[in-house]
Amino acid sequence: MFKIENKGKSQIKSRNRIKIYSYILKNGPVSRTDLEKKLGISAPSVSRIVENLKKEKLIREIGKEETSVGRKPIKLVINKNARYIVGISITKTKIYICITNLGADIIYRNINRLDEIESEKDLLNAIDRLITSSLNITKIQKELILGIGIASRGIVDYNTGTILRCYFNYYKEPIRNIKVKDFLQSRYNCEVIIDNNINVELFGNFFLSNNIKDNKKNNILYIYMGEGVGGSIICNNELVRGKNNIAGRISHMIVDPNGVLCNCGGKGHLEAYVSKSAIEKQYLEIKKIKDSEINIFEICKMGNNGDKVCTDIIDDVLEKLAFAIANLQIIISPNTIILAGEIFDYYDCALEKLNEKLQSIIFDKRLYGVELIIRPKKDIMFDHSATALIMNKIFTVE
Ligand SMILES: [Zn+2]
């Protein structure tokens, strides 16, 4: 439907069709004259493509009615519900699904637990079952799905659409080579894109919303602190993947060579200090509490009330984070650093303290014109961000 043909005249036609549709999508309502002028496409071509898009019910006309001052010009808008996009997020224990329309409105959302994932087949079937049941509930036909975008934990090969290695539940062995793209393309016959979840989050929410229209060269570092720690980098508006798509996986950056043991077996890695479970574990160890639970929200709350143990723990977390950022600053030189983590949601002066620490260790203060932005946990929806992968792939024409 929005495929670019790869030969001669049909290539130009198919590109113009996407350009026109995308322009209406982003700027609608627009007139036919707007399309001719802004896109530099001839009037007969615009007219032919618009007629076709109308016939397929992808767009419609508005403003036909007579008014007291005469006829309003006819404008074009998209039919938001003509097609749909599926977004999926794969975590250690759950799969999230979200279906959006072409206006990026969420039509449906659901979560399934991932129990008993022991093989590639188990995971693929679990994804398939969730998509099928969601389409049944929403009564959306398979044929109306433009694409499926997936955000996954683990190591993802973006080009082949394969999860190379991922741990699920509490099984010791990771599952390898899960061919998600091949499987879903054969089942749903649509565009399928899978990427690392932190890349998807950064791409979906900042890259697209920032919009490259203004030609601003964005250099963004995204640091995500949750159960694990993740990172993603945009340099000159491009996601940095590196070999094996693992650029930006900052969780195992060394922030203290003689430090505590990380889950991976290494010493003094960032994740061993700033992940949610690391912070909670530290509290229980210092307090010598066994067989009990504490959560990061409570630690932050006690910290806000001046509890010394909690403020010390948080200070240490922010210090380790500052080391990591200072090192990354030299390599990437970002103009924006986005921070997601409950410490920033719940601890009152987290950002202020982090900034203070950064100022004291940064290489050259004159170079440090970085904007630090907090991304609240409540805004993070990996499944929704994953739909942006599809929108971008289908509606971006150079
Ligand atoms: Zn590690």
Residue 270 and residue 188 in one domain: no
Looking at residue 244, which CATH number applies to its domain? 3.30.420.40
State residue 63's pLDDT score: 80
Compute, in angstroms, the gap from residue 254 CA to the centroid of ligand 1: 8
Looking at residue 16, which CATH number applies to its domain? 1.10.10.10
Residue 223 and residue 319 in one domain: yes
Per-residue pLDDT tens digits for 375-392: 999 989 999 999 999 988
Compute, in angstroms, the gap from residue 225 CA to the centroid of ligand 1: 14
Tell me how far apart the alpha carbons of residues 357 and 362 are, in angstroms, rounded to a whole number.
9
Compute, in angstroms, the gap from residue 98 CA to the centroid of ligand 1: 32
**Confidence class for position 66, pLDDT limits 50, 70, 90:** low
Per-residue pLDDT tens digits for 355-374: 999 988 887 776 567 889 99
Compute, in angstroms, the gap from residue 258 CA to the centroid of ligand 1: 13
Task: Please check the confidence at residue 61 and state whether its pLDDT lies above 50.
Answer: yes
Compute, in angstroms, the gap from residue 271 CA to the centroid of ligand 1: 6
Boundary-marking domain end, from 43, 78, 113: 78
% of the chain at pLDDT higher than 90: 63
Q: What is the CA radius of gyration of the chain?
A: 24
- Phi then psi dihedrals of residue 310, to 5 deg: -70, -45
**292 vs 45, residue with greater confidence:** 45
Residue 255 and residue 356 in one domain: yes
Boundary-marking domain end, from 78, 104, 137: 78
Average of per-residue pLDDT across 4-15:
76
CA dihedral sign, ordered 387, 106, 114, 277: positive
Tell me how far apart the alpha carbons of residues 205 and 225 are, in angstroms, rounded to a whole number.
17
- Cα–Cα distances (Å) from 250 to 115, 270, 272, 287, 372, in that order, read 29, 7, 12, 29, 17
Compute, in angstroms, the gap from residue 291 CA to the centroid of ligand 1: 25
Structural domain containing residue 127: 82-203+382-395
Residue 355 maps to a domain: yes
Task: Please check the confidence at residue 129 and state whether its pLDDT lies above 50.
Answer: yes
Compute, in angstroms, the gap from residue 284 CA to the centroid of ligand 1: 21
In contact, 223 and 339? CB cutoff 8 Å: yes
Task: Please check the confidence at residue 148 and state whether its pLDDT lies above 80.
Answer: yes
Task: Please check the confidence at residue 314 and state whether its pLDDT lies above 70.
Answer: yes
**262 vs 193, residue with greater confidence:** 193
Residue spans of beta strands (DSSP E) within 238-381:
238-239, 336-341, 371-374
Compute, in angstroms, the gap from residue 237 CA to the centroid of ligand 1: 29
**Confidence class for position 170, pLDDT limits 50, 70, 90:** low
Residue 224 and residue 272 in one domain: yes
Compute, in angstroms, the gap from residue 36 CA to the centroid of ligand 1: 55
Compute, in angstroms, the gap from residue 16 CA to the centroid of ligand 1: 49
Least confident span in 170-179, 200-209, 262-271, 344-353: 200-209
Compute, in angstroms, the gap from residue 252 CA to the centroid of ligand 1: 4
Residue 143 and residue 114 in one domain: yes
Compute, in angstroms, the gap from residue 209 CA to the centroid of ligand 1: 32
Compute, in angstroms, the gap from residue 339 CA to the centroid of ligand 1: 20
Residue 33 maps to a domain: yes
Compute, in angstroms, the gap from residue 244 CA to the centroid of ligand 1: 18
Least confident span in 76-85, 142-151, 290-299, 380-389: 290-299
**39 vs 1, residue with greater confidence:** 39
Task: Please check the confidence at residue 292 and state whether its pLDDT lies above 50.
Answer: yes
Compute, in angstroms, the gap from residue 393 CA to the centroid of ligand 1: 34
**Confidence class for position 8, pLDDT limits 50, 70, 90:** confident
Compute, in angstroms, the gap from residue 23 CA to the centroid of ligand 1: 46
Compute, in angstroms, the gap from residue 321 CA to the centroid of ligand 1: 15
Residue 208 maps to a domain: no
Residue 319 maps to a domain: yes
Residue 248 and residue 131 in one domain: no
Compute, in angstroms, the gap from residue 80 CA to the centroid of ligand 1: 45
Residue 1 maps to a domain: no
**Confidence class for position 68, pLDDT limits 50, 70, 90:** low
State residue 74's pLDDT score: 87
Taking every pair of Cα atoms in the chain, the longest distance, rounded to a whole number of angstroms, is 80
Average of per-residue pLDDT across 37-54:
93
Residue 73 maps to a domain: yes
Residue 224 and residue 347 in one domain: yes
**Confidence class for position 213, pLDDT limits 50, 70, 90:** very low
Q: What is the DSSP letter of 139?
A: T
State residue 103's pLDDT score: 87
Residue 135 and residue 275 in one domain: no
**8 vs 238, residue with greater confidence:** 238
Closest CA to 230 of 262, 275, 297: 275
State residue 216's pLDDT score: 67
Compute, in angstroms, the gap from residue 318 CA to the centroid of ligand 1: 18
Q: Tell the residue number behind the tokens 């509890």, with chain if given.
A: 307
Residue 359 and residue 373 in one domain: yes
Number of domains into which the chain is organized: 3
Cα angle, residue 99 at apex, residues 94 and 100 outer, rounded to 5°: 140
Question: How, if at all, do strands 145-152 and 191-196 pair?
Answer: parallel
State residue 212's pLDDT score: 41
Task: Please check the confidence at residue 298 and state whether its pLDDT lies above 80.
Answer: yes
Compute, in angstroms, the gap from residue 263 CA to the centroid of ligand 1: 6
Per-residue pLDDT tens digits for 230-245: 999 988 888 898 887 8
Residue 12 and residue 117 in one domain: no
Per-residue pLDDT tens digits for 72-85: 678 999 999 999 99
Tell me how far apart the alpha carbons of residues 16 and 13 are, in angstroms, rounded to a whole number.
5
Tell me how far apart the alpha carbons of residues 167 and 153 are, in angstroms, rounded to a whole number.
9
Across the chain, mean pLDDT equals 88
The residues placing their C-beta within 5 Å of ligand 1, an ion, are: 252, 262, 264, 266, 269
Compute, in angstroms, the gap from residue 282 CA to the centroid of ligand 1: 17
**5 vs 387, residue with greater confidence:** 387
Tell me how far apart the alpha carbons of residues 10 and 7 are, in angstroms, rounded to a whole number.
6
Compute, in angstroms, the gap from residue 251 CA to the centroid of ligand 1: 6
Residue 71 and residue 88 in one domain: no
Compute, in angstroms, the gap from residue 2 CA to the centroid of ligand 1: 43
Per-residue pLDDT tens digits for 232-279: 998 888 889 888 788 888 998 999 999 999 888 889 999 999 999 899
Compute, in angstroms, the gap from residue 181 CA to the centroid of ligand 1: 29
Compute, in angstroms, the gap from residue 10 CA to the centroid of ligand 1: 51
Residue 313 maps to a domain: yes
